[in-house]
Amino acid sequence: MTAAESFDAVDVIRAKRDRRDLSDAQIDWVVDAYTRGVVADEQMAALAMAILLNGMTHRETARWTSAMIASGERLDFSGLRRSDGRGLPTADKHSTGGVGDKITLPLAPLVAVYGVAVPQLSGRGLGHTGGTLDKLESIPGWRASLTNEEMMAQLGDVGAVICAAGSGLAPADKKLYALRDVTGTVEAIPLIASSIMSKKIAEGTGSLVLDVKVGSGAFMKDAAQARELAETMVALGKDAGVNTVALLTNMATPLGLTAGNAIEVEESVEVLAGGGPEDVVELTVRLAEEMLECAGVHDADPRQALRDGRAMDVWRRMIAAQGGDPDAALPVAKESETVYAPADGVLVELDALKVGVAAWRLGAGRARKEDPVQAAAGVRLHAKPGALVRAGEPLMTLLTDTPERFERAKETLEGAAVIAPAGSRPAQQLVIDRIA
């Protein structure tokens, strides 16, 4: 005989439908019951839509996040020690996703240079936003899946790890995220915030820096909504005892000069070697400074650690520790096609969303989580906004192993580049604001 449930799903749905606050007990029950299969998908979809339309108070969102964490395991890095026996501080970064956003790759080893362990649990790409694990898997031999024991050992030895999150972390989120994706409720800020923060808090890091993207290539196109999301997540982190800071950053234009997988790894290695596009270097350094400050390291110079090779040394050890060959050649696309500037002038706009969708259509991304990706596919940019261009000069190169994809990618790129006949466009501010 099945034990009686504490609540009825329909009553919980009606409460939020009628704009009433859910009690802590109702939230704990509905998240647990959905994870157990007692609350059906259609019932949770109705509740998610009610939350999207009517919102949640901070208390409700915090409790929802706690219930998601309670659905699975929590990692504990308190056992990590420095060589002198002192505890090793931990810091992590989360980006809400964008086009050309390869920042995690140089950032994790850069922060580890200064004695802060970086347990970076990352994901795969979906749609026009790239996935960190997809990028790294273009390195021959590199593996994303580690046991908790392997992750702890690598953190103690190398200081940085980038790997897939285990299935034991916030399983309620995995189930609910898939449902939101197919029911038009992804945009609910309380559910976005609790989805991100439940995994990050369960991960056990001591401090967290959030990179909340704003603009055409970002998940959040509206600055006010992005700010609300950032403020909500910072508050959730603080409530859980995680030192949390958020940066609002510009995603109107792709980061760097590449959008893809192998080509973004190539660009990341250029940054680790002391070069690379200035916007990628600037954001990597700024996020490193925030992570180190949160972890209690106040006298670091991350830009110098990129120039002198220390970050590259940690990168090589990190890749090798996960079976990758840091010296191996990266995959190269079998086919390429160039898009040329139609006129002389100043490139005043390069739409991040269109570039991201083009890279996806070339094979760099996936439409469904189970789809494969092409390691070498993507878009290589030859100019960024503010650059002078001449008619007939290359603007971007499209890369793929399957040339039949070129046509749709080029259709997507129509209007992506705006060239003005005279004058210049003020440089876009990369970091828009800091929320702490």
Q: Where in the sequence numbering do the catalytic residues fall?
A: 94, 173, 180, 195, 199
State how far the Cα of 263 lies from the Cα of 281, in Å rounded to an integer. Answer: 16
d(CA 155, CA 234): 25
Phi-psi region of 127 (alpha: psi -120 to 50; beta: other; left: phi over 0): left
Number of Cβ within 10 Å of residue 401's Cβ equals 16
Q: Tell me how far apart the terminal alpha carbons of the chain are, to the nearest angstrom.
A: 50
Radius of gyration of the chain (CA): 22
* 129-145: b (≥16 Cβ within 10 Å) or e: bbbbbbbbbbbeebebe
DSSP string, 236-288: HHHHTT-EEEEEEEE-SS-STTEEESHHHHHHHHHHHTT-S-HHHHHHHHHHH
H/E stretch holding 227 reads helix 223-239
Q: How far is residue 58's CA from residue 6's CA, in Å, rounded to a whole number?
A: 24
Token pair belonging to 114? 């200064």
Residue 289 neighbours by CB distance under 10 Å: 18
Helix (H) or strand (E) holding 407: helix 406-412
- In one letter, which amino acid is 145? S
Q: Are 144 and 165 in contact (CB under 8 A)?
A: no
- As given in the structure block, the two tokens for residue 381 are 């940019």
Q: How many angstroms from the chain centroid is the CA of residue 7?
A: 36
CB-side neighbour CA atoms (13 Å) of 5: 18
| ∠ CA 115-120-126, rounded to 5° | 155
Q: What φ, ψ does residue 115 adopt, rounded to 5°?
A: 75, 25
